Amino acid sequence: MDDESRRIREEVKKQFPTMTPSQKLEYIWMYYKWAIALIIAAVVLAFAIRDWVENAKMHQILGIMAINTDPGYSDTTEEDIKKMIGSEDKYEAVSVYRNVVADPETGKIDYQSQMTFITMLSAAEIDVLLLPEITVDKLGDGVTFQNLEQLLPGDFEVGEGVSFDGPFMVLSKGNPVYDEFGFYYEPVYVGLLEGSRHVETAMDYLKILAGAA
């Protein structure tokens, strides 16, 4: 800043107390806009860093994929399921995926959904799969499941309308899962994928489904 500019600034500064509110704002913006911009940038950066740190602490404890649900009809949120399995840690997350669709007549997963399904399966994002019976045989030999009947305790009493078919648990109409996810078909097959990263929490959830009347 040259001497003339400095002199003008000092004169304007002396007049500051007598300025109108709009003149004061104009003066502040003219001479301090870069300082204000830096302060705003610093605040934004601080919040961004805080959010990044918080997100870095988050970790998934259960991934559920429900095929063919009514997206506008669901009584259960991911937070509800988290509470069901007894998690109170704010950094633990339950993820529910409802974006995979299968043809109700053939059971085949449509092309776009197939890409999503394969990607998430490869990334081990899914632990529990809920799907129509007709889709079970269309998954392919590469998709295998753990035997739920064998994983449940020997003295576990299953609820009414709960049965088993191979490795799957089968839920008939009346099980709360229908309202929780908005299933419009019956029965719902439930499988625990081989390679699940969260078997313990998955079984906590599946015991709730199996014991529900």
Among residues 131, 137, 140, 102, which one has the least CA distance to residue 191?
131
DSSP line for 57-126:
H-EEEEEEEESSB-TT--S--HHHHHHHTT---TTEEEEEE----B-TTT-PBPHHHHHHHHHHHHTT--
Q: Is 33 in the same domain as 117?
A: no
In tens, the pLDDT along 88-117 reads 888 888 988 888 899 988 989 988 888 888
Sign of torsion, CA 19 25 29 30? Answer: negative
Read off the pLDDT of each residue in 57-69 and give the average, rounded to a whole number. Answer: 87
**Are 117 and 30 part of one and the same domain?**
no
Residues 9 and 104 in one domain: no
Q: Which two tokens stand for residue 113?
A: 């959904």
In this structure, are residues 58 and 78 in contact, taking their beta carbons and an 8 Å threshold?
no
The pLDDT score that the predictor gives to residue 189 is: 95
Same domain, 113 and 202: yes
pLDDT of 2 strictly over 60: no
> Phi then psi for 113, rounded to 5 degrees?
-65, -35
Q: Could you give the CA distance from residue 148 to residue 163 in angstroms, rounded to a whole number?
A: 10
Residue 51 lies in domain: 3-55
User: For the chain, what is the domain count?
Assistant: 2
Q: What angle do CA 113, 119, 120 make, to 5 degrees?
A: 90
Predicted pLDDT of residue 64: 93
Average pLDDT of the chain? 84
pLDDT for the residue numbered 174: 83
Q: What is the pLDDT of residues 119-133, one digit of tens each?
A: 888 888 999 999 999
Neighbours of 69 (CB within 10 A): 23
Exposed/middle/buried for 167, CB within 10 Å: 0-12, 13-18, 19+? buried
Same domain for 178 and 90: yes
Query: Same domain for 110 and 156?
Result: yes
In tens, the pLDDT along 76-91 reads: 688 888 888 888 888 8
* More confident call, 177 vs 21: 177
Residue 213 confidence (pLDDT): 44
In Å, how far from its chain's centre is CA 164? Answer: 29
Residue 156 clears pLDDT 80, i.e. is over it: yes
